[in-house]
Structure 1
Amino acid sequence: MRKHLRLPNTFVLLFAILAMIALASWFVPGGQYDTHMVDGRALVEPGTFHYIASKPQGLVALMMAPIKGFVDAALIIGFVLIVGGAFSVLQKTEAVDSMIRSVARAHARSPAVRVALIPVFITLFSLGGATFGMAEEAIPFILIFVPLALALGYDSVVGVSIPFVGSQVGFGAAFLNPFNVGVAQGIAGVEVLSGMGYRIIAWAAATLLTIVFMMWYAARIKRDPTKSPTYALDLEKRNELVPDIDALAGMTPTHGAVLALFVGALGVMVFGVVQYHWSIEEIGALFLVMAIAIGIVGRLDADQFVAAFIQGARDLVTTGLVIALARGTVILARDAHIIDTMLHGLLPLMQSSSPIIAAQKMYVIQSVINFFIHSGTGQAALTMPIMAPLADLVGVTRQTAILAFQLGELNTPMLPTSGVTVGVLALARIPWLTWARWMVPLQLLYLALALALLVPPVLMNWQ
């Protein structure tokens, strides 16, 4: 019976990864590259790798890693708690329930809505990732799309995939994202935001693949809900999260005003990120202001507002702890001085007699590095100073090397070391192994697509 299948708890899984990194630090020698500062970024100088004194991480370091991860990820954890509080206030007004009711009824009545809902939303989230680097910003939408997916007869996987996988595939195949494309091109000495034509093709292909896969999966679950990997979990969630569609009253002017405030806040968020390069602090402040405004418009008194906000933040404490533990894995590897050593060890594997194979090896290497470094900007700063000159040596254009770097981030939704990934899954209450097993077929499709997308740039000497 599926309900008796025991999967490792996310905390246990992440702590096991911490223990493996600590163990590896006793066998992998310490090493580092020299760096220099450019526009506030520490850039690696190719050819400067040297071994340094080993710094094995023992039991004390292992036990300190979670608290260090908590401190290092304090901004995103604080952001998650504020978002949880803000959405709890939003839900207290019952505007979300009325919206779910309206969408569910339209979904039941209109074949056009049933066909368009998943493609339209995935495309919108993918555009967010491709243009302004939507990543952590997708976290709040889990609280909307999981109940919506359950109300429409799908499962939690669909509810998570629309905002999370949608935004991540857009981020990985971005064409206008200043945080990975722009930074990588600037470091590699390539004209910033050049080569957009082929990148738009790559983005469209990756987004279309995601849509087709999700449409197939959603239809399969609609026909037989027991095929869902979260079927048993969703039986509990439906009673808790999904409103009684028939019992709900229609949307009132107050509900409409509350939802308009919510949509307006999202618009301000997009504008702020694109125009003023807002980060977590500004977006968190925006959601706090939004919560206060929604409380006023939704006619909640002070006690109702505070109680709802605290309850929402309390519900996400586990999510914050999971994010801290995931960040601790990266800090432990960094403190052990083994990240640069592993990068240096991977580089000889890129050598190949065929430029196409060399480009594809770049993609594989970037995918491995992404296990430890999930920031598009951070990974670009670490790898592009090395990959760009190496691309010249193996007959691959720097533009192609940048695309390989981007596509390496397509595996982020699978990684238990990504704070966003484990945070999203904790928010949706989906065990990582359950999610990972579901993701395997889609990740294999992304792998095949990425390898194929790297062939034309080599053949046409993409500059």
Structure 2
Amino acid sequence: MDKKPVNSSEEKVVESKGINAFVLIFVVIIIAAILTYIMPAGTYERSEIDGRTVVDPTSFTFTESSPVSFMGIFNSVHLGMIEGAGIIFFVFMVGGAFGILKATGALDALVTFLTIKLANKAGLLIPILMLFFAAAGTLMGMAEETLVYIGILVPLAIALRFDAITGFAIVSLGASVGFSAAVMNPFTVGVAQGIAELPTFSGIGLRLALLATLYITAVWYVWRYAKKVRNNPSIGFYGSHDSNTKVEMDSTYKMQTHHKFVLIVFLINFIVLIFGVLNYGWYITEIAGLFLLFGILIGFIGKLSPSEIADSFIEGAKLLVPGALVIGFAQAILVIFQSGMLMDTILYYASGVLENLPAALSAIGMFIFQLFFNFLIPSGSGQAALTMPIMAPLGDLIGVTRQTTVLAYQLGDGISNILFPTVGFFMAGLALAGIPWGKWIKWVFPFALMQVGIAIVFLLIAHFIQYGPF
């Protein structure tokens, strides 16, 4: 078949048959409401220390129960949407800006250019393309956007005498390790640090080291398998694709000048973002405004009309509607816990269980919890909105820094995104590549265990260096 420069309009939509996350979350909402009739209510005293709210660990007292009514269960969803409005609209605005970037075709042009130039250099193809997807995952939280590239790289990998798993892994593992390290991912670390009252994108040094470690491990794992397939095609898995697929490349293809300028301006956006965060303490309002400004600039540089810029913004925001709604539903659980005065009771009992453990083991326990909790809430920002209001003060009570708590959250969320069938874009990607979920799990499970091991090592490092600023 002919290989043409990627056009985002050619993206295929694949329906996922995974478990609906909203059903699972609503079940948790009902369970939370039932708990207000069973668990005793309680409260801690809180105070302001150095600009952040801190729980007094000696001040817990039980109080009169305040169970949630039947209508309160349904009212909590609307209240949750209101409580999470700041984060929800931040997600929409940043997603809309990324939608404008996508509409310019600059990212697609870059992938096409790299693919053509590296087609005959298989040894470089895997690490360079995985570096691109890791950078996209760690800077812009690339997730759903990977689908269009899976449709490109799976047939390409087969044509280069690899297989469908190799093509899918280049995209999914590349983006996943970037998403997990979350050096400047606005949807995970950006949201979680804000809830934990940490300076935005603080602690970037350790996350850069984490990104390098996860990236090198992923490249080694994919290349080791790909080399085996190339030497013995019979062990490869080709899914719904023909193992004799041929891809013709236009070796004269060049990126257009405006695409180059779009990418340059996109990088300048992150430079300005870092400057603003470090020097002026920018948070989600300023970051959202910055992305909107640069999104509009990128649109004009990318030769989009004002109407096309607006439409692209809407399309980008539309992709994140499920994740944004998950934030509101997750907040509904917190609304019930707060109205039933169970939040502090949960903190009290959880700290009682963990207080006799070394703090380092508690940090690992937080990571394991977040890893499996992603099955219920497969949304990075949604999971942060629900768990960080509990985990941040819990860390204070048991001696785990808030920055370490955020690290535990981001690693648990990121690693499980390539495992659980409740993660919609992941299941859609497998369907697009023609790879059964069971086949993929069998292949990726050793790598997932490696990631868990790396996560534990970095959490131990974070604990022993008192990863901060607090």
| Same-fold status (TM-score > 0.5) | yes
1:13 paired residue number: 24
- Aligned match of 1:84: 95
Give the superposition deviation at 1:347. 2.8
Q: Which moves more between the two structures, 306-315 or 44-53? A: 306-315
Match of 1:288 in 2: 292
1:176-255 matched pairs, under 5 angstroms:
250-255=254-259
The amino acid across from 1:148 in the alignment is Y
Partner Cα separation in structure 2 for residue 85 and residue 113 of structure 1: 33
Q: Which residue of 1 aligns with 2:83?
A: 72
* Alpha-carbon distance in structure 1 between the residues aligned to 2:249 and 2:91: 29
Question: Residues 344-385 of structure 1, C-alpha deviation per residue, up to 9 Å, x if partnerless?
Answer: 212333365x85xx6424531575489697379856751244
After TM superposition, give the deviation of residue 42 of structure 1 in Å.
Answer: 1.4
Distance 1:296 1:457 in 2: 43
Tell me how far apart the structure 2 counterparts of residues 288 and 302 of structure 1 sit (CA, whole Å): 13
Confirm or deny: 8 A CA contact 1:41 1:381 kept in the other structure. no
Contact persistence 2:47–2:55 (CA under 8 A): yes
CA gap 1:458/1:121 in 2 versus in 1, 3 angstroms: same
User: Deviation string for 1:62-114 (max 9, x for gaps)?
Assistant: 21222222222223322332233333333333323321211222342323422
Secondary structure of residue in 2 paired with 1:25: helix
Match for residue 44 of structure 2? 33
Name the CA distance, whole Å, in 2 between partners of 1:60 and 1:220: 59
Task: Give the TM-score normalised by the residue count of structure 1.
Answer: 0.67
Partner of 1:343: 347
Separation (CA, whole Å) in 2 of partners of 1:297 and 1:159 = 27
> Where does residue 374 of structure 1 map in the other structure?
384
1:281: how far off?
1.5
Contact 1:158–1:218 (CA<8 Å) still a contact in 2?
no
Which whole-Å deviations, capped at 9, do the CAs of 1:273-325 have from their partners, x for residues lacking one? Answer: 33333222222212211222122222222333333333333343333223322
Alignment correspondent of 1:166: 178
Task: Please report how far the alpha carbon of residue 255 of structure 1 lies from its aligned counterpart in structure 2 after TM superposition.
Answer: 1.8
Checking the alignment, whether the CA contact within 8 Å between 2:299 and 2:309 is kept in structure 1 is yes
1:335 and 1:221 mapped to 2: Cα distance? Answer: 57
Cα distance between partner residues in 1 of 2:318 and 2:461? 50
**Distance change >3 Å, CA 93–CA 286, structure 1 → 2:** same
Match of 2:6 in 1: none
Tell me which residue corresponds to 2:379: none
Which whole-Å CA distance do the structure 1 matches of 2:252 and 2:69 have between them? 57
Q: Secondary structure at the match of 1:26?
A: helix
Distance 1:181-1:283 versus aligned 2 partners, 3 A rule = closer
The yes-or-no answer on 1:363 pairing with 2:364 is: yes
Rounded to whole Å, the distance in 2 between the matches of 1:10 and 1:295 is 34
Q: Per the alignment, do residues 150 and 270 of structure 1 end up closer, same or farther by CA in structure 2, a change over 3 Å counting?
A: farther
Task: Evaluate the alpha carbon distance shift between residue 303 and residue 35 of structure 1 in structure 2; reply closer, same or farther with a 3 A threshold.
Answer: closer
Distance 1:166-1:93 versus aligned 2 partners, 3 A rule:
closer
1:152: which partner in 2? 153
Structure 1 residues 181 and 311, CA, compared in 2 at 3 Å: closer, same or farther?
closer
Kept after mapping to 1: 8 A contact 2:150/2:429: no
The equivalent residue for 1:326 is 330
Q: Which residue of structure 2 aligns with residue 268 of structure 1? A: 272
Task: Please name the residue that 1:58 is paired with.
Answer: 69
**What percentage of aligned pairs have identical amino acids?**
22
Matches within 5 A, 1:291-302: 291-302=295-306
For 2:96 and 2:405, the matched residues in 1 are separated by 39
- Provide the secondary structure at the position in 1 that maps to 2:53: strand
Alpha-carbon separation, structure 1, partners of 2:104 and 2:465? 56
Do 2:29 and 2:332's aligned partners in 1 also have CA atoms closer than 8 Å? Answer: yes
Q: Which protein is richer in helix relative to its size?
A: 1
Distance in 2 between residues matched to 1:30 and 1:206, nearest whole Å:
42
Superposed CA deviations along residues 365-420 of structure 1, whole A, max 9, x for unmatched, are 575489697379856751244213xxxxxxxxx78x9857844653233789xxxx
- Residue type at the aligned position of 1:73: G
> Which amino acid in the other structure matches residue 263 of structure 2?
L
Cross-structure match for 2:283? 279
Per-residue CA deviations over 1:148-183 (Å, capped at 9, x if unaligned) read: 3542225667645534543434579xxxx9999999
- 1:138 counterpart = 2:140: yes
* Paired amino acid for 1:138: M
Which runs of no fewer than 5 residues in structure 1 stay unpaired?
Answer: 129-136, 187-191, 235-243, 389-397
AA of the residue aligned to 2:28: I
Distance in 2 of aligned mates of 1:178 and 1:295: 24
The number of aligned residues is 411
Is the 8 Å Cα contact of residues 146 and 172 (structure 2) preserved in structure 1?
yes
Question: Matches of 1:112 and 1:336 in 2, distance apart?
Answer: 58
Q: Residues of 2 paired with 1:79 and 1:86: CA distance?
A: 11
The whole-number CA distance in structure 1 between the counterparts of 2:329 and 2:390 is: 20
- Contact 2:76 2:332 survives alignment (8 Å): yes
Distance between the aligned counterparts of 1:125 and 1:84, measured in 2? 13
Contact residue 22 and residue 56 of structure 1 kept, 8 A: yes
Q: Secondary structure at the match of 1:54?
A: coil
In the alignment, the residues of structure 1 paired with residue 272 and residue 29 of structure 2 have an alpha-carbon distance, to the nearest angstrom, of 38
Would the alpha carbon gap of residues 323 and 301 (structure 1) be closer, same or farther in structure 2, given more than 3 Å must change?
A: same
State yes or no: 1:98 paired with 2:99: no
Structure 2: gaps (5+ residues): 1-13, 155-165, 242-247, 374-381, 431-436
User: What is the CA–CA distance in structure 1 between the aligned matches of 2:384 and 2:92, rounded to whole Å?
Assistant: 21
CA gap 1:53/1:248 in 2 versus in 1, 3 angstroms: farther
Determine the C-alpha separation between the residues in 1 that align with 2:297 and 2:466: 53
Displacement after TM superposition at 1:35 (Å): 0.9
How high is the TM-score relative to the length of structure 2?
0.66
The answer on whether the counterparts of 1:169 and 1:207 sit within 8 Å (CA) in structure 2 is: no
- Cα RMSD of the aligned pairs, angstroms, is 5.2
